[in-house]
Amino acid sequence: MLFKPKSTPIYLARIIFLQNSQRNLSTKSSHYSRKNIDDDDKDQKTRDTKEDQQDHLYLYKSKGQHLLTNTRILDAIVRRSNIRPTDTVLEIGPGTGNLTVKLLEAAKKVVAIEIDKRMVDILHKRVSEKGLQDRIHVICKDAMKAEFPQFDLVVANIPYGISSPLVAKLVYGGNPFRSATLLLQKEFARRLLAKPGDSEFNRLAVNVKLVADVEFVMDVSKREFLPCPKVDSSVVIIRPKAEVPDVNLDEWWAFTRTCFSKKNKTLGATFKQKKKVIELLRLAKTTSTNRENTIIGKNHECGDDYDGSHEEEDTDGDVGFASSCSVVEMTLFKENIVGILKTGGFEDKRPSKLSNEELLHLLSLFNQAGIYFHDHVNPKDSDNVSFAAAYSS
Ligand SMILES: C[S@@+](CC[C@H](N)C(=O)[O-])C[C@H]1O[C@@H](n2cnc3c(N)ncnc32)[C@H](O)[C@@H]1O
């Protein structure tokens, strides 16, 4: 049986000094084979020893270790980042330092967060050899768990596995910064850049666009990386907006989660689901108990039976709540929801075609009617950043 190694040995000296001969290296690495490894960390000790003896480094796919070795592209990334000599640049995943040394030439200081201790050692050595060690601070940690220090800019070729939570951590994390120049998987970059109506437009784009603008910089072929990954990449620049809409972010995230739960369904179909109606009725009752009477049954007569041809099964806490509500109560509440959608002209619209302004308008119509999406009384998500991260894709 054929197997694919989960790591690739790369000769250190070549990674660092022979950037222009990357294609030879890629070929070398692709000819390499070794015993199957179920877990990257399992053979770590053996590999460390081998690395010491043979001066080569195993690059782990699971850690997204694809090094960008094309000097022209590295220079373009630095140039397009508009780094000022007074800037502190945050780099996530510096690896062996191909980008880091160029950042250090342009910035006052670089803070680099790298999960792999072996990379940190190589980076320290390389930076010291260039006499740049006083202007770098390396944090050997998982970037998703590390507390980010103050920085002006982010410039990074990030591990693609953390793209979504990392972008959420940056744009919602509360650290003010000028821009983030990121090398991302091409498909992920397209989703960030998508506009309403584009096939890639989804909740990620909506949530990022609320607080930031995203600019396309360039595509980068997979052949520019060592070892060559399966996917192409793109560079984008994310710039936090100077003014962010005055909206409760917990509400916004929960609202966009509902809207995009079936992104190609009409909002009418999504909001008429029995499960959704029960959930929103429960939230309306717990969130604004003193408005309860005006929310429920406001000038509505009992309409259709509460049937649900496209409805999902009841689950978890809402099951008990549903049994405590009368059919009439739920029917009236559902009619209230549909009334709001109709009034705003949203019933037949699909979320993937709506602008953020339209979505914000719909949310405000719901909130004005006492319909909320986030459980403010018993929030499931204590941390906004982890919440945003978990739900931004
Ligand atoms: C795509 S490589 C980029 C390396 C280097 N910047 C370059 O362009 O050649 C990603 C780097 O991120 C590191 N990494 C992976 N997961 C990480 C995490 N959760 N936090 C910090 N660094 C991580 C990997 O060890 C690897 O060095």
Q: pLDDT digit string (tens) for 181-227?
A: 999 999 999 999 999 999 999 999 999 999 999 999 999 999 999 99
Arithmetic mean of pLDDT, 250-265: 93
Handedness of CA 106, 163, 244, 176 (dihedral sign): negative
12 lies in some domain: no
Asked if 270 and 218 sit in the same domain, the reply is: no
Asked if 232 and 262 sit in the same domain, the reply is: no
Instruction: Give distance in angstroms: CA of 114 to centre of ligand 1.
Output: 6
Q: Are 274 and 319 contacting, i.e. CB atoms less than 8 angstroms apart?
A: no
322 lies in some domain: yes
56 lies in some domain: no
Q: How far is residue 101's CA from residue 113's CA, in Å, rounded to a whole number?
A: 14
Residue 68, annotated as binding a ligand: yes
Asked if 209 and 145 sit in the same domain, the reply is: yes
Q: Is the CB of 65 under 6 A from ligand 1?
A: yes
Asked if 214 and 331 sit in the same domain, the reply is: no
Evaluate if residue 24 carries a pLDDT over 80: no
Asked if 172 and 120 sit in the same domain, the reply is: yes
Asked if 232 and 276 sit in the same domain, the reply is: no
Q: Are 331 and 308 contacting, i.e. CB atoms less than 8 angstroms apart?
A: no
> Of 192, 238, 232, which is closest to residue 66 (Cα–Cα)?
232
Asked if 215 and 287 sit in the same domain, the reply is: no
Evaluate if residue 318 carries a pLDDT over 90: no
Domain boundary among 240, 267, 297: 240
Instruction: Give distance in angstroms: CA of 65 to centre of ligand 1.
Output: 6
380 lies in some domain: yes
Asked if 88 and 171 sit in the same domain, the reply is: yes
Asked if 279 and 386 sit in the same domain, the reply is: yes
Residue 142, annotated as binding a ligand: yes
228 lies in some domain: yes
Q: How far is residue 63's CA from residue 96's CA, in Å, rounded to a whole number?
A: 13
Confidence of residue 13 (pLDDT cuts 50, 70, 90): low
Q: How many percent of the chain have pLDDT more than 90?
A: 67
Domain boundary among 205, 240, 275: 240
Domain span at residue 351 reads: 249-390
Q: Are 347 and 338 contacting, i.e. CB atoms less than 8 angstroms apart?
A: yes
Average pLDDT of every residue of the chain = 82
Phi, psi at residue 180, to the nearest 5°? -125, 115
Q: Tell me how far CA of residue 258 lies from CA of 202, 249, 322, in angstroms.
A: 12, 14, 19
What CATH number does the domain containing 376 carry? Answer: 1.10.8.480
Q: How many domains does the chain have?
A: 2
* Token pair 């962010």 in the structure block, residue: 244
> Of 261, 260, 285, 263, which is closest to residue 372 (Cα–Cα)?
285
Evaluate if residue 60 carries a pLDDT over 80: yes
Asked if 188 and 253 sit in the same domain, the reply is: no
Evaluate if residue 46 carries a pLDDT over 60: no
What CATH number does the domain containing 116 carry? Answer: 3.40.50.150
Q: Is the CB of 66 under 6 A from ligand 1?
A: yes
pLDDT of residue 10: 64
pLDDT tens per residue across span 67-111: 999 999 999 999 999 999 999 999 999 999 999 999 999 999 999
Evaluate if residue 146 carries a pLDDT over 80: yes
287 lies in some domain: yes
Indicate whether this complex's ipTM tops 0.95.
yes
Asked if 145 and 283 sit in the same domain, the reply is: no
Confidence of residue 3 (pLDDT cuts 50, 70, 90): very low
Domain boundary among 191, 221, 240: 240
Evaluate if residue 271 carries a pLDDT over 60: yes
Q: Is the CB of 119 under 6 A from ligand 1?
A: yes
Q: Tell me how far CA of residue 108 lies from CA of 83, 151, 158, 279, 369, in angstroms.
A: 9, 11, 21, 51, 52
Q: Is the CB of 116 under 6 A from ligand 1?
A: yes
Q: Is the CB of 162 under 6 A from ligand 1?
A: yes
223 lies in some domain: yes
13 lies in some domain: no
Asked if 236 and 342 sit in the same domain, the reply is: no
Evaluate if residue 54 carries a pLDDT over 70: no
